[in-house]
Amino acid sequence: MKKYCVMFAGQSVQESGMGLALWKIKSARGILERLKPSLGEDLEFIMTEMPDPQLALTFNAQRAIHAHHVANWLAYRSLHPEINLDGAIGHSMGVVAALVAAEALSVEDSGRFIRARAQAFYDVCKEFEAPMGLAALSTDFIGDIAQDINNFPGVSLALHNTIGRGVAGGKMTDLEALCRKIEDEGWPVKVKLLKVEGPYHTKAFSPCKDALQQALGQLEVKSPKVPVFMGSSGKQETDPARIRRLLVDQADSCELHMDAVWAAYDHGCRNFLEVAHKPQPVTWIKDQLQDEDGKLMPGVTTLAVKIE
């Protein structure tokens, strides 16, 4: 029987009204009601009516995205009980939903952790003395410029998403200086400054790790029933204690998402599935699992599903 590795996106996929259909589907609404006590009584509002500028704020975006992930996935599973998994991958904050899919976290505990994570990230952003952010990088091979990015003053590589895509983080003045250097020296790189509250997955977010550790201390993390491939390590993870550490370390460490996808492939995963209003990581597979000729590795399939 065909098995799937389920995928969940990170922050940036939020959009106004993303949860409208979910609240009308009985099985999805039941999941969302279970998440309201932890994610907030305003959960339905932020998923159905909140305008994009307000929804883009870290505290709102993370809560809305996680609820969207979990409700979509569990509603889909209820419609398709025959679906079997051989892995789960979450991009950035999406790893928490991946842990729910792998039955390592309960729905309720996942909501508690995301609420704590969203609050901790928000608290860090409030303390920035200067504007900070992220810049999306696009080139042929991001690995060729990774060290140059990390050596540039005040900037570090925050996410490695595909062979040619990554994200750098730091103070906006430093990111702007990097953009000028790339342009002046003619680097074969396209850069786009992102409108976010902070440079996630960089040392700027180290102050929130104590809050994440404290939140996890009150939750139960079980051994996943299928391997979870985590961007914090870029590896297959099955040990609950290590998963806890990586959930904390994720705050200020580069997200090795592409490594996690390759780890899933090396484990034997070939069919990648994403259930979402706006699929993202499943669409990157063709830019990740490439052979030496730049072709998709044999046997790999992708499936993007909407339950609306």
Which of 141, 166, 194 is the last residue before a domain boundary?
194
| Tens-digit pLDDT profile for residues 176-191 | 999 999 999 999 999 9
Same domain? For 230 and 105 the reply is yes
| Tens-digit pLDDT profile for residues 49-81 | 999 999 999 999 999 999 999 999 999 999 999
| Tens-digit pLDDT profile for residues 142-178 | 999 999 999 999 999 999 999 999 999 999 999 999 9
Q: Distance between CA atoms of 196 and 175, rounded to whole angstroms?
A: 13
Question: In the chain, how many domains are there?
Answer: 2
State the DSSP code for 12.
T
Same domain? For 188 and 238 the reply is no
**Sheet with strand 155-160: strands edge to edge:** 155-160, 165-171, 132-138, 190-194
Q: Distance between CA atoms of 287 and 260, rounded to whole angstroms?
A: 14
Residue 26 belongs to a domain with what CATH number? 3.40.366.10
Residue 146 belongs to a domain with what CATH number? 3.30.70.250
Q: Distance between CA atoms of 94 and 11, rounded to whole angstroms?
A: 8
165 near 158, Cβ under 8 Å? no
Sorting pLDDT into bands at 50, 70 and 90, what band is 4?
A: very high
Report CA-CA distances (Å) from 148 to 138, 177, 253, 305.
Answer: 14, 13, 17, 38
Which of 167, 194, 221 is the last residue before a domain boundary?
194
* Number of other residues whose CB lies within 10 A of the CB of residue 211: 18
Q: Distance between CA atoms of 165 and 269, rounded to whole angstroms?
A: 22
Same domain? For 138 and 121 the reply is no
| Tens-digit pLDDT profile for residues 129-145 | 999 999 999 999 999 99
At residue 272, the pLDDT reads 98
Same domain? For 89 and 26 the reply is yes
Same domain? For 95 and 174 the reply is no
Strand locations in the chain (E): 3-8, 84-90, 132-138, 155-160, 165-171, 190-194, 228-230, 235-237, 271-275, 301-305
Same domain? For 102 and 212 the reply is yes
State the DSSP code for 295.
P
Asked whether the predicted pLDDT for residue 196 surpasses 90, the reply is no
| Tens-digit pLDDT profile for residues 287-305 | 999 999 999 999 999 999 9
Same domain? For 250 and 180 the reply is no
Q: Distance between CA atoms of 227 and 218, rounded to whole angstroms?
A: 23
Across all residues in the chain, what is the average pLDDT?
96
121 near 206, Cβ under 8 Å? no
Asked whether the predicted pLDDT for residue 105 surpasses 80, the reply is yes
At residue 220, the pLDDT reads 97
Q: Distance between CA atoms of 269 and 251, rounded to whole angstroms?
A: 27
288 near 262, Cβ under 8 Å? yes
At residue 1, the pLDDT reads 74
Q: Distance between CA atoms of 33 and 40, rounded to whole angstroms?
A: 10
At residue 18, the pLDDT reads 93
Asked whether the predicted pLDDT for residue 308 surpasses 70, the reply is no
List helix spans (H) across 80-171: 94-101, 107-126, 143-151
Same domain? For 21 and 87 the reply is yes
Q: What percent of the chain has pLDDT over 70?
A: 100
Which of 194, 215, 230 is the last residue before a domain boundary?
194
> Which structural domain, as residue segments, surrounds residue 177?
132-194
Same domain? For 227 and 300 the reply is yes
| Tens-digit pLDDT profile for residues 245-286 | 999 999 999 999 999 999 999 999 999 999 998 899 999 999
Same domain? For 114 and 154 the reply is no
Q: Which residues contact 45 (CB under 8 A, 6 or more apart)?
A: none
Token output for 308: 């609306």
